[in-house]
Amino acid sequence: LAFLWGRRIVMSRERCISLPSDHFALFLFAVILITGTLMRYFFKIDIPSVKTLALGLATFTPPPYEVLKNIHWLFYVHITFVSILIAYIPFSKLMHFAGIFLSPTRNMANSTRVKRHVNPWDPNPEWPILVREGITVAGVTYKSKKVDWDTYYEMYKDQLDEVAEKDYKIGGG
């Protein structure tokens, strides 16, 4: 954690792109780390009281005052900063870690050769875009040949037959 913070301060490129929100996230992580370490090694926390508090919060029944009094004040500081960090995640760069699980390309089926995909907004799917409009480069318009599905199949027949022969599982369904 100190390395991450030091890198943001020392390296000019990182310092240039760092925002106060980046330092705030590192500050939250540092406070959570320090208070957690202090609770574990220096101030012994009454675990049964913390369990009673957690169950009380989960079931919306407040625990008795004696239970709250038994818990060290450092636990309340720790849980407050953890709650702030959890509430802060959707509004920060920390939300980018969710892209690992929510990436559309990761969750899409890889079935481009097995199943024909047609643009729903394409006015006539039989006409490729290059046939309709062409590409103009340096004043010269280039148009491609129209390739229908049967011609495409003949071009890639070997690969499609290999997929069918080896029973590859392509895509999610």
Q: Kindly list the domain boundaries of the chain, sorted by start residue.
A: 2-107, 110-173
Angle at 43 between CA 49 and CA 73, to 5 degrees: 60
Count CA within 13 A, CB hemisphere, residue 108: 7
Q: Residues near 67 by Cβ (< 8 Å), separated by ≥ 6?
A: 49, 52, 53, 56
**% of the chain residues with pLDDT over 70:** 68
Q: Which residue has the higher pLDDT, 126 or 160?
A: 160
**pLDDT tens, residue by residue, 26-37:** 889 899 999 999
Lowest mean pLDDT among 55-64, 65-74, 97-106, 157-166: 97-106
**pLDDT tens, residue by residue, 124-148:** 655 555 445 666 667 777 666 666 6
Burial bucket for residue 78 (CB in 10 Å: 0-12, 13-18, 19+):
buried
Question: Is 106's pLDDT higher than 90?
Answer: no
